[in-house]
Structure 1
């Protein structure tokens, strides 16, 4: 009877090994690209302030195969574009912010699940930072989003724009970014901000909380007394869908310029930093199930023999199986046992070329992938 239980338990473990594995496709493979674009569009849909981000590079990808759907765990690099999240322009047609204007980068870990061929994001973790490598003398310097003098310039340029419009008044909805630049005549300001059609009572104007309200993205340059301004207007922004994605454009952003405290100090809008961290951690944990390459034998030993130290890893599998079966667990310990099994197989394969008097072929790295814009 005890023997029967052992055979049944071992069969269950073998079934788990056959169904769970960790694959490492190339970072520039079609399936990696597809998953990265899904992740990019989802992150943009969760980003309610600032600008859209576009994929720059796939740093790493692994696929955990499971009976109920494969799990993709990815590391991707994104770059900020000049398209605001309210801009319905497809992300593929947006321009990446150049380094000389202080590029903003997003480094994200993303978990996706493939169910019947459909990829969905289940968790992510992002860090947003500035790239200051190519900032030059005389280049625009990014200012904090609550810089008092720069905000005065924004308000002055908005007055100019409202004086140019007919039958409609616009109110400030969000400041995208503000910079100062030293030119021959002294410092000037550069600002990008979002405006919305407003309802005014006297001198007080409030953005219309209406899906049909017109909104726009404005760029202004100069001083309070003399400047240029250009605005690109949109309507019905919250119903627009990116033609390259199924991810909807985010709902209208909320005005926050008046609520930024003096300690805010941010100079750019950050991606949403975290979503379902427990799922992210659990998806990263099957590292123990990965195939671990074995280092080739030293060149000084042309025909290495399989000695007792080399055979030791294979001998470890039996104690691991005993521990897994005696514990009665069918979750993490199954994966650990699978880990021992996979490593043993690789160790044997890695030793085979050496015994056959051939030179071991070095592993060709398949990640990270290509850089689409700049490093």
Structure 2
């Protein structure tokens, strides 16, 4: 996140508030599936071809204090190579991730990793997410790439231990052409996906105390936002479900709407308790209304647009 450009807040009482956020974003060196906090991820420097853009985010903030990601739409573009060449003639340029050079460099990097690694893990290439090429003065090519890997059959031990298939991200660099001596550098980070699993029994118990008509299981992109009072502690922000909470972390709630959560909870506190007492009510839950077209009017908040957190070239 570089800065918040625009914020629109639509009151949806008693369903909560819907926030429409226009964000300026920059690429980091962490993969999107990495469990590392985005605050600990370094911004990719200009000489490695920065990728930047904006994201339109729609978030529902419930009166109970929980926030849900409803939708997001991001437009990201890399810096043009002409701009990079003008300021840095010797910097590497991006390669298509499906090019023969990128695929060959990925295989060469993982081959060396599997030969030298002492871990009970033998990664195979799943997806190449970034590749670049640099030609040196002696006509040698240097390929740098980032690829997502998954474990092969030799990872059975880790699969049984974690109950999930381990996933890893490797960064490799191959110096030299395929016809001569090649120098290969590679490093990999392997971890298990941190996914919250709801068993069928838990799923059935969770919705057994709610009205049976028009009940849908919440979806990660368009949840139905039902009021389930008996399992309130289990509610969590899907945006942060994959992020391990630190010792000083706060409950899952959107930082952009934290100033409004206390006010909303106080306003809707009485009505929430009344609905829980009437367990036999057949009234449908209050559903928020989302705009089909993302709002583009100026923000009513004086702090928008915010100050850029990073200086770009």
TM-score band, normalised by shorter chain: 0.5 to 0.7
- Asked whether the equivalents of residues 54 and 76 of structure 2 are also in contact (C-alpha less than 8 Å), the reply is yes
Aligned pairs for 1:175-254 within 5 A: 175-186=128-139, 187-199=141-153, 211-221=163-173, 222-223=175-176, 224=178, 225-239=181-195, 247-249=240-242
Structure number with the higher helix fraction is: 1
Q: Which residue of 1 aligns with 2:97?
A: 145
Separation in structure 2 between the aligned mates of residue 78 and residue 281 of structure 1, nearest angstrom: 23
Is 2:41 the partner of 1:87?
no
Separation in structure 2 between the aligned mates of residue 144 and residue 85 of structure 1, nearest angstrom: 19
Separation in structure 2 between the aligned mates of residue 73 and residue 215 of structure 1, nearest angstrom: 33
Q: Which residue of 1 aligns with 2:248?
A: none
Q: Which residue of 1 aligns with 2:10?
A: 64
State which of 281, 284, 300 in structure 1 corresponds to 2:295: 284
- Asked whether the equivalents of residues 3 and 306 of structure 2 are also in contact (C-alpha less than 8 Å), the reply is yes
**Residue 143 of structure 1, CA deviation:** 0.4
**Residue 215 of structure 1, CA deviation:** 3.4
Is 2:64 the partner of 1:113?
no
Is 2:73 the partner of 1:125?
yes
- Asked whether the equivalents of residues 220 and 227 of structure 1 are also in contact (C-alpha less than 8 Å), the reply is no
**Residue 374 of structure 1, CA deviation:** 2.8
* Offset from partner CA, 1:120-171 (integer Å, 9 cap, x none): 2223322121123445211110001111122112112221111112454221
CA 134–58 in structure 1, closer or farther in 2 if over 3 Å, else same: farther
Separation in structure 2 between the aligned mates of residue 141 and residue 232 of structure 1, nearest angstrom: 23
**Residue 366 of structure 1, CA deviation:** 3.7
Say how many residue pairs are matched: 211
TM-score by length of 2: 0.58
Separation in structure 1 between the aligned mates of residue 129 and residue 163 of structure 2, nearest angstrom: 21
Separation in structure 2 between the aligned mates of residue 174 and residue 181 of structure 1, nearest angstrom: 21
Gaps of 5+ in 1: 1-54, 201-207, 251-277, 292-363
